[in-house]
Amino acid sequence: MKVTILGGGIIGLCSAYYLQKEGYQITIIERGDISNGCSFGNMGYMSPSHFTPLASPGIIAEGLKHMMNSSSPFYIKPRLNWDLMKWGYHFWKNSNAATVKKHAPHLNNLLQLSRGLINDMRTDIGDNFEMQEIGCLMMCKQQKTLEHEFHLADEAEKFGLQVERLNKVQVQELEKEMELNVAGAVLFKDDCHFNPGKMMRTLKNYLIEKGITFQLETTVTGFEKSNNNIAAVITDKGKFDCEEIIISTGSWLPDIAKMIKIKLLLQPGKGYSYTYPYIEKNIKYPAILIDGRCAVTPWGHQLRIGGTMEISGINNNILVNRMKGIYESAKDFYPVLNIDLPPADKIWSGLRPVSPDGLPYIGKSALFKNVTFAGGHAMLGISEGPGTGLLVSQILDNKKTEIDISAFSVNRF
């Protein structure tokens, strides 16, 4: 059977990876050339530790607090836009402890599924994307944030994750070569990290070798319908007949869904990163700087710093002050780290596809029998990519899915 995948980000490529193993004939239609975009410049964490959805208690208050601060890590640009208002309403409705408790096990299932799959995938596609399985530090400056992280560590243990609670001396012991300005940290030992750009290139090359067709520089503009099916994808390069379609267009999921009269709540959440090509005395551990709401990832002598969640629509505008905020946080946590303020013209930005409840959309559309959605992974697309790909292949095979996917329903709002 022929499968047409729309969008060549991590979700599209992971879906192709598992579908080709089942013998499907696959074409990936992608507007760009799969060399940049959200799946490339991110922090490269595969984080089972992130089972708490973004929509959680306190997040709205934090957003409002930072509204006027141009260097803040979380920002929603107020606009008179119906889709944003509806999304905001559902985001607010989901930001409570009871919903988080309900959603966390679903996120945990998907995260642990992916984490379990990545090692086999690495062996299969080629071990050259600098994956390291040393865990990830959640570093805290204030005692109050550290206590909150310790509480999250308790929750993590209930999900079977391995954690280490570290005081100031113990965390410094781990990061021996670099002076730290922290109260302590939690080490989430199941987390791993890799270079996401290299991983994307490795996976793409593997898929080319396996005979997958890449229809690049091609923009999807519409669909040809036939009863309850999509008969063809219409693009600026012509029409492609299809049997099954996977829609994995990241932050553009709602635009594509609208073309077939399906409403999906999703907003792009812009984040920034900058990669220092060579740092003589680099950090060893990837870390989330909790009080600074930003992250740092080392790959040998390379270092990426990144963060922010800016809900301001689809755009590539770079607000340099936000990157300055990230840089200053990094310097605050690692006072002797030898880094300069990133040059404005080299700052990378990407759009995370953010659903209002922090859960992805994975499953068949109610309207069209041959359409499957896979997207809305927000800040966890890398962490949840392999699991999502496997689930997509099981959905198309009409097999019982590895985990319960009812919470990821496309029709839930």
Structure tokens at 98: 């009871």
Could you say whether residue 389 binds ligand FAD (CB under 6 A)? no
Structure tokens at 393: 């292949």
Phi-psi region at 192: left, alpha or beta (left = phi > 0; alpha = psi -120 to 50): beta
| Shortest CB 90 distance to ligand FAD, Å | 19
Could you say whether residue 401 binds ligand FAD (CB under 6 A)? no
CA 56 centroid distance within chain: 17
Please state, in angstroms and rounded to a whole number, the distance separating the CA atoms of residues 303 and 278: 7
283: which residues sit within 8 A by CB, 6+ positions away?
A: 175, 178, 296, 298, 303, 334, 337
Q: Of 178 and 323, which CB lies nearer to ligand FAD in the complex structure?
A: 323
- β-strands 302-311, 74-76 pairing: parallel
Could you say whether residue 88 binds ligand FAD (CB under 6 A)? no
Binding segment for ligand FAD (CB under 6 A), chosen from 82-90, 115-123, 324-332, 381-389, is 381-389
| Shortest CB 211 distance to ligand FAD, Å | 21
Binding segment for ligand FAD (CB under 6 A), chosen from 126-134, 320-328, 374-382, 396-404, is 374-382
Which of 108, 249, 355, 372 touches ligand FAD by CB under 6 A?
249
Which of 3, 16, 27, 44 touches ligand FAD by CB under 6 A?
44
Q: Of 272 and 408, which CB lies nearer to ligand FAD in the complex structure?
A: 272
Please state, in angstroms and rounded to a whole number, the distance separating the CA atoms of residues 51 and 11: 19
Q: Of 8 and 184, which CB lies nearer to ligand FAD in the complex structure?
A: 8
12-31: which residues touch ligand FAD (CB under 6 A)? 12, 29-31
Which of 381, 386, 387, 389 touches ligand FAD by CB under 6 A?
381
**Residue 68: how many other CB atoms lie within 10 Å:** 8
| Shortest CB 401 distance to ligand FAD, Å | 19
406: which residues sit within 8 A by CB, 6+ positions away?
A: none
Question: How many Cα atoms are found within 13 Å in the side-chain-facing hemisphere of 296?
Answer: 29
Q: Are 42 and 380 in contact (CB under 8 A)?
A: no
Which of 38, 199, 319, 391 touches ligand FAD by CB under 6 A?
38
Could you tell me which of 37, 32, 195 has the C-alpha nearest to residue 126?
Answer: 195
**Residue 59: how many other CB atoms lie within 10 Å:** 18
* Residue located via tokens 């780290």: 337
Polymer length of the chain:
413
Which of 4, 16, 37, 363 touches ligand FAD by CB under 6 A?
37
Please state, in angstroms and rounded to a whole number, the distance separating the CA atoms of residues 81 and 96: 24
Which of 35, 69, 70, 219 touches ligand FAD by CB under 6 A?
219
| Shortest CB 167 distance to ligand FAD, Å | 26
Binding segment for ligand FAD (CB under 6 A), chosen from 37-45, 69-77, 115-123, 148-156, is 37-45
Which of 146, 220, 230, 296 touches ligand FAD by CB under 6 A?
220
- β-strands 302-311, 294-299 pairing: antiparallel
- Phi, psi dihedrals of residue 181, rounded to the nearest 5°: -115, 75
Fill in the per-residue mask, 317 to 356: x = in contact with ligand FAD (CB under 6 A), - = not in contact: ---------------------------------x-xx---
154-193: which residues touch ligand FAD (CB under 6 A)? none
Which of 52, 273, 355, 370 touches ligand FAD by CB under 6 A?
273
Give the residues lining the site for ligand FAD (CB under 6 A).
6-12, 29-32, 37-39, 42-45, 219-220, 248-252, 256, 271-273, 306, 350, 352-353, 375, 377-383
